[in-house]
Amino acid sequence: MAAGRATGGGGGAVSPPRGVLPAHARRALPLPLGAEPRRAAPSPGSRRSPSTAIAMSFLFGSRSSKTFKPKKNIPEGSHQYELLKHAEATLGSGNLRMAVMLPEGEDLNEWVAVNTVDFFNQINMLYGTITDFCTEESCPVMSAGPKYEYHWADGTNIKKPIKCSAPKYIDYLMTWVQDQLDDETLFPSKIGVPFPKNFMSVAKTILKRLFRVYAHIYHQHFDPVIQLQEEAHLNTSFKHFIFFVQEFNLIDRRELAPLQELIEKLTSKDR
């Protein structure tokens, strides 16, 4: 990446990847899965541990939450829905490394597709909770700390990267992801319809871009996340995301640089 800026298109990191998280973001670091007990509230009679209950309630939508874009549904009764349920069950075991692995006999494309939809929904909800704080004024450029700035290009409609505010960038980004997920030729939902040959490369681009929303939230909006008592949800979601992309090598290391320190902390404990 030549000129020290990340674009939506090719998308390298902006500056030398030596970012140190600002203090407010660093506070996020050591929280393990579901570390924040405040939202625990397991349903009466639930036998799950409180931490599992938090993770589950967040990841699988028993909480009522504002989303930024409409939630992408996987149709009930489909094989992909079964896979999602499988992911849900294994996540409940608390072992994320195991939970992200390809289930025996399943198709890798389909597994990546289901999880990509799920991550979109999670990020959609997380960003939805802080949209009031992410404005033209607070975030005139899309950044992840002082060292990383992103300019939007989707490579199709917008080829020349646009420098825009974070809310605008994230709107472009999430709309673009939505369009990919809704494209039946890319994400076939019907049984027997094959995934396209370029599916994995499309999924990688989607995940690379979704990562930037996490990076923006951690770097620029961690204070409201704490105030809203959403940090355990954010950490759980991000940790799941990172374990997933690491398992299948889906995002370039240099793209992850803005949150490298956090990633190291989150992943060092659960090998």
Nearer to Zn ion, 139 or 225 (CB): 139
Q: Is 232 in the site for Zn ion (CB under 5 A)?
A: no
Q: Is 221 annotated as a binding residue?
A: yes
Contacts of the segment 94-102: beta carbons below 8 A, 24+ positions apart: 94/33, 94/49, 94/51, 94/52, 94/55, 95/270, 96/33, 96/239, 96/240, 96/243, 96/270, 97/243, 97/247, 97/270, 97/271, 99/240, 99/243, 100/240, 100/243, 100/244, 100/247, 101/247, 102/248
Among 67, 124, 205, 220, binds Zn ion (CB under 5 A): 220
The residue (of 53 and 174) whose beta carbon lies closer to Zn ion is 174
Site map 180..219 versus Zn ion, x via CB under 5 A? ----------------------------------------
Q: Which residue lies nearer to Zn ion by CB, 113 or 166?
A: 166
Total residues at the site for Zn ion (CB under 5 A)?
4
Q: Tell me the C-alpha distance between 65 and 207, whole Å.
A: 22
CB of 130 to Zn ion, least distance (A): 8
User: Is 86 known as a binding-site position?
Assistant: no
User: Site for Zn ion (CB under 5 A): which residue of 21, 28, 114, 166?
Assistant: 166
Interatomic CA distance for residues 119 and 3, integer angstroms? 30
Among 55, 28, 61, residue whose Cα is nearest residue 39: 55
Q: Which of residues 117-156 bind Zn ion (CB under 5 A)?
A: 134, 139
Q: Interaction with Zn ion in 26-65: which residues (CB under 5 A)?
A: none
Residues forming contacts to Zn ion in the complex (CB under 5 A) are: 134, 139, 166, 220
